[in-house]
Amino acid sequence: MDRRGLSLTIVALMLAVLMTSSTTAAPGIEAGVMQSPGSEDGQPTSDHNTLYVFGNQQLSNCNSKFNSTNAESADYGEDSKASGNLDVKVTCRMEPTLNVDIMLEEGAMINAKFTVNLGGEWTNGQGNCSGDCENLNISFLKGNRAVAIKEFDSLSDGENSIMWDLPVTEDLVTWNGSQETMGIEFTMKMKATEGWAILEGQDAVFGLYFTHPDNPAEQNASVTFPILNQSAVDELTGGCVDSDGDGMCDDAQDTPGFTAIIGVGGLAAAALLRPNKSEDEE
């Protein structure tokens, strides 16, 4: 190989190394990476994997997205009744809805944290609750289907911090972006307490702290999912993901940087295979 051919080969190989290191991520979720506010379009990625919860003061509207910014959201929402029963059902679906296929790491944990404010009675066998009250239940929704539900039976009056670590089972691994948008639902059945003599009664109250810059970080409602990056997905599936269960591969997306590497590799191959010219031909 002449001097010019050797130079081209070295340059091509250096470009290949640089592009590989800048475009290829390690499989899974990297620890210690500084979190940004989230993805610009509110969709999940392996780097932007935290779902933030927003809503209004009346709890009549609740939504969520993979970006912590929502200028229209209140910092706290509450529903209450001064007497009788309060049936709580707050559903916080993704807005915009999920439009990308994702895979979670099986066996890893989904980490959820919420802060709720409670008042009144909700435990059957206590006060006026006689089989018609319910503890707080939180559900994870996959499309219109609840795929995980947990009852919280040790909550008290006032603020309660809730941490829920949910293992990713086989049913939670694949999410079809066209059918299985994410959601969180809170349900509870409560009663206001009646006053007696000089003692005042207590309203039935359910309050939820949303993600908001005025709230301390521990109060912000969020769910973090162990989303696999494309390299990890390809390793597990061989490039074939059947998220809708039809027995056929979904439309595959190229692993980041793969096309670029092929292009640079082709340049290197061309340099290596280029015929040598004799000194007389130059």
pLDDT at 253: 44
pLDDT at 277: 46
- Classify residue 120 as exposed, middle or buried by CB count within 10 Å of its CB (0-12, 13-18, 19+): buried
Residue 100 in this model has a pLDDT that exceeds 70: yes
> What average pLDDT does this structure show over 243-256?
52
Q: Minimum mean pLDDT among 44-58, 93-107, 239-253: which range?
A: 239-253
Task: Please say whether the beta carbons of 238 and 231 come within 8 A.
Answer: no
pLDDT at 31: 33
205 beta partners: 80, 119
pLDDT at 281: 47
CA neighbor of 207 nearest in space, from 195, 193, 219, 224:
219
pLDDT at 200: 72
Q: How would residue 204 be classed by pLDDT, with cut points 50, 70 and 90?
A: very high
Cα distances (Å, whole numbers) of residue 86 to 179, 233, 251: 32, 45, 47
